[in-house]
Amino acid sequence: MPSDFSVFLGQMMRRPTQVVAIAPSSAAVARRMTEGLEQVQGPIVEIGPGTGSFTKAILARGIAPERLTLMEMNPVFCETLRQKFPGVTVLNRPAQHIEHIGLRGIGAVISGVPVLARPQIQRDVVGRALRVMAPGGQFVQITYSPGAPISADMQAELGVSVEKRGTVWANLPPARVFVFRSIQH
C-alpha cells in the first residue's frame, strides 16, 4: 500500500478543489482533535478524513470501529480508508449529507472540512451536523486561522458555543482546534 503522503500528494495534484490542505495532519493534531472521545456516547462521525490521520487517533482512543463513520468525497481516499480501517463505515459522500446517513444521537463530529470564511459551508455542514447530534455532542474543527473558524455572528445563527481546545505547533502549518456545542439542547 502506498504511503499516506504519496496518496495525499497524488490526490492533491489530481483534485486540488477537494484536497485543500498542504499536508496530512500530524499525529500531534490528531491527538488534540480526538481528546476526550473515550467518554463520548453514541456514534462518532469524521468528515473529511483524507488519508485517516484523525481516524487512526480515534481508534487509538479505544473507540470501536463499528461506532465510527467516515464521510469522504474523494473515492481514492475512501478506498484507502476502507483498506486501512476494517470495520469502520466509509461513505463516499459529502459532509453536507450527514442528516441523510441514518445516524441520530451523534456524540461527536471530528471535522477536517475547511469552514473558515465560508458561511454557506458552515450552515450546510455544521448546522446540519448539529441537527443529528445528541444533547451535549461536540463538533471538533481544525483550522489554520488564529481565531475561531466560525464568526461570532454565525455562532449566534447556528446556536453554538465555542471553546478553543488549543494550538498545535507541531503541524504544517500550525493548527488550532476548536470545539462547538449546541446551546439549544
**In this structure, which amino acid lies at residue 180?**
F
What pLDDT shows up at residue 184?
76
What pLDDT shows up at residue 117?
86
Rounded distance between C-alpha atoms, residue 11 and residue 92, angstroms: 15
What pLDDT shows up at residue 2?
60
The Cα-based distances of 26 to 3, 7, 23, 56 in angstroms read 14, 15, 9, 11
What pLDDT shows up at residue 1?
59
Domains annotated on the chain, with CATH: 4-182 (3.40.50.150)
Average pLDDT over residues 20-32: 79
What pLDDT shows up at residue 25?
82
Q: What is the pTM of this model?
A: 0.88
Residues 80-135 have pLDDT tens digits of 999 999 999 999 999 999 999 999 999 999 999 989 888 999 999 999 999 999 99
Q: In what order do the strands lie in the sheet with 133-143?
A: 89-91, 68-71, 44-47, 106-111, 133-143, 175-182, 160-168
* Model confidence at 5: pLDDT above 70: no
Contact 73, 92 (CB under 8 A): yes
